Amino acid sequence: MNVVSYLEQHAARHPDRIALYFEDRTWTYAQVDAIVSRLANGLRVLGVQKGDRVAVMLPNWPEFHFCSHAAWKLGAVEVPVNTMYRAEELSHILGDAEVSVMFAFPEAAQIIQSLRDRLPRLTAVIVVGGEGPAGTLAFEDVPAQGDEGCSALELADDELAVIAYTSGTTGFPKGAMLSHCNLLVCMQTLRDYLGLTETDNILQFLPLFHSNASLCALVFAWYMGSSAILVDHVETRELVATIKRTRPAYFVFVPTLLYDILRLPADVEVDFSSVRYIVFGAAPTPVGVRRQIEERFGLRMLQSYGMTELPGMVTLDPRDGPPKPDAVGLPMQHLVVKIVDEDDNSLPVGDVGEICVGPRTAGPGAGLYRTMLGYRGNAEATQEALKGGFYHTGDMGKLDEDGFLYVVDRKKEMIIRGGNKIFPAELERVLRTDERVEEVYVVGVPHERLGQVPKAYVVLKPGAEAREEELKELIAGRLARYKRLEQVEFVTRESLPRNALGKVLKRELAVRELAARRTGS
C-alpha cells in the first residue's frame, strides 16, 4: 500500500490525460510521474530513505505535491508546513518531527537557515521559486541528480505517511501521525459517497499545507485519475474565470468566498454549470445564502465536519436528501459518531456532550476506519484523544433522532458565566437572524464577579446600520437571561484575525480583548 502507487497506475494506463492545471500550464499523468520519479531519485542521492521526514513549506504551487509524492515513493514521511509560520513555530515543528530534508520558498529558507544550529537532523534545505541563501540547494538541481526510473515502495497499511501539525488552543501544535491507510480510506469513502469518477475535474484553492484540504482535492484527484486544478492566489474574479475554463465538478471551499461571489457585478459571468457539489465546513453559512447559491448556480452545497486527526470528512449532508438547518450532516458510511459526558458515558439523543468518532462495525463501510497513529512524541495526549478506540474531538455537539450531527461549540471556547455554561455558537445563530448582520463571532471576556461574559464582534452588511442595544435586546428576547450579551463591538471583515482557510481565530479576539483591558485602551 502506498498513496503514490495510484499516480503510477494512471500514468501507465492514461499517460496523456491531464493530471494538473496550473495558471496557463498543464501536465499529463506521464509528465507528473516522470517529474516525481526524478525528484525521488534526487532525494535518494541526498540520503533520504524509508521513514525519513521530508517537510514541504510552499504556497499552492505544483512543486508542493511533486515533492510530497516523491517522498512517498521512497516510503518517506511528508510534513506539510504552514507558509505563515515563523521562527518559533518552525523550530518546534522541524525539531519535533526530526525533519531531514526541507523544501521551502526563498523567504522561508532564510528563516530556516537561521535555525540550523537548533535542527541537527536537518541535512538539506531545498529552495523552490527563486534564489536561496548560502548553504541551500536549488530545486532544479535535485531532480537533475536522478532519472525517471523509480517505483513506489510497497508499504504496510499502517506505515506513516504524514505528520500534520494541528493548531492547538494552547502551547505548540501537536503532530498528528497519519498512515497511508488513513489517507486512502478517506479518499475511497469520499469518492463512493459523492459518486465521482475519473472524468470529474477537482478544484483546489485552499492551502495545500492544510492536509485535509489537500487530501480532499488535489491528492484525491490523482487517486481517482482525474484532473486537478490548482489555484494559488484566490482573487474572486480570477477564481470564477478559472472555474468556467477548467470546469470542475467538485471543490471544497470556505463560506467567506460565497459572499464575494454573490457581490460580483452583474457584468461578471459566473458559470458553475459543471459543478455538482461544493463542500463547505470551515464556518457556518446562513441558510438564506446557501439557498441563494444553490438556486442561482444550480448546484448542491454539502455541509461537512472534519479535522486533521480524522482525515477527510466525518460528516456530510445527504447527497440526495434534504439537509437540516444548523446540522453538519450525517456520519460517513465507515464512521460512527457518539456523544459522551465528562465520564465518557454515551448520552441519549438530543443531549449535548463531547463528539467522539469511531469505526462502524456493521454495514457497507464496516472495518474500513483506522484511527490516526497518534500524536508525535506525545503518548499522554494520544491516550487521552483515543480513549476506548474513539477519537475525542474536543467539540461539543448533539445527535438528533435521524442521526444528524449538530456542533454546538468548541469545548474550550465554552463560556462559564457565574457557573452557567454558554456556547458562543448559540448566540451567534440568533444574531445571524438579523438581516443587517453579515458575520458575527462571540467570545468570552473576563469579568471581575462572574468570571466570563459574552462579547460579540459584529460585521454589518454594506450600508447597514445597527446599535449595540438592538443586538443585546435580540439576544435577551430569545435566550435565557444568563446568556445575555454584555458587549457588542462593530468591526470590519478586514480587521478580524483569520487563518489561511479564512476562518476567524476566536482565541486571537479574546487575546486582543485581554490586552486592551490591561492597557486600558
The reported pLDDT for the residue numbered 78 is 98
pLDDT category at 170 given cuts 50, 70, 90 is: very low
Q: What is the mean pLDDT of residues 11-17?
A: 97
Scan for cell 534526487, then name that residue: 42
Domain 30-179, classified CATH 3.40.50.980, yes or no: yes
Using DSSP, state whether 248 is helix, strand or coil: coil
State the amino acid at position 137 in one-letter form.
L
State the amino acid at position 11 in one-letter form.
A
369: pLDDT strictly greater than 60: yes
Q: Helices in 74-151 by DSSP H: which ranges? A: 87-97, 106-114
169: pLDDT strictly greater than 50: no
Using DSSP, state whether 291 is helix, strand or coil: helix
Strand partners, 508: none
Q: What is the mean pLDDT of residues 1-7?
A: 96
Nearest CA-CA partner of 395 in 443, 436, 434, 337: 337
The reported pLDDT for the residue numbered 418 is 78
Separation of first and last alpha carbons in the chain: 58
Distance CA 42, CA 46 (A): 7
**Cβ atoms 210, 64 nearer than 8 A:** no
C-alpha cell at 390: 474513539
The reported pLDDT for the residue numbered 146 is 64
Using DSSP, state whether 366 is helix, strand or coil: coil
* 168 vs 363: which has the higher pLDDT: 363
The reported pLDDT for the residue numbered 412 is 72
400: pLDDT strictly greater than 60: yes
pLDDT category at 60 given cuts 50, 70, 90 is: very high
How does pLDDT run across 231-277, given as a tens digit for each residue?
998 788 999 999 999 999 999 987 667 778 888 888 888 999 999 99
* pTM metric for this prediction: 0.84
Distance CA 78, CA 367 (A): 26
The reported pLDDT for the residue numbered 31 is 97
Q: Helices in 74-217 by DSSP H: which ranges? A: 87-97, 106-114, 180-194, 211-215
Nearest CA-CA partner of 280 in 266, 293, 271, 264: 293
The reported pLDDT for the residue numbered 283 is 56
C-alpha cell at 27: 501536465
284: pLDDT strictly greater than 70: no
C-alpha cell at 1: 500500500
How does pLDDT run across 285-333, given as a tens digit for each residue?
667 778 888 888 888 899 999 989 998 899 999 998 889 988 999 999 9
Listed in sequence order, the residues at least 6 apart from 299 whose beta carbon sits closer than 8 Å to its beta carbon are 272, 275, 276, 277, 278, 293
Stretch among 69-78, 223-232, 346-355, 405-414 having the lowest mean pLDDT:
405-414
Using DSSP, state whether 164 is helix, strand or coil: strand
Q: What is the mean pLDDT of the chain?
A: 91
Distance CA 190, CA 263 (A): 31
Q: What is the mean pLDDT of residues 14-36?
A: 97
Distance CA 298, CA 442 (A): 33
pLDDT category at 282 given cuts 50, 70, 90 is: low
Look at strands 99-104 and 374-375 and give their pairing.
unpaired
205: pLDDT strictly greater than 80: yes
Alpha-carbon separation of residue 507 from 169, 277, 344, 397 (angstroms):
7, 32, 27, 20
100: pLDDT strictly greater than 80: yes
User: Would you kindly state where each structural domain of the chain is located, as residue ranges?
Assistant: 30-179, 415-519
Domain 415-519, classified CATH 1.10.101.10, yes or no: no
Distance CA 231, CA 238 (A): 9
389: pLDDT strictly greater than 90: yes
Q: What is the mean pLDDT of residues 139-167?
A: 88
Q: What is the mean pLDDT of residues 62-77?
A: 98
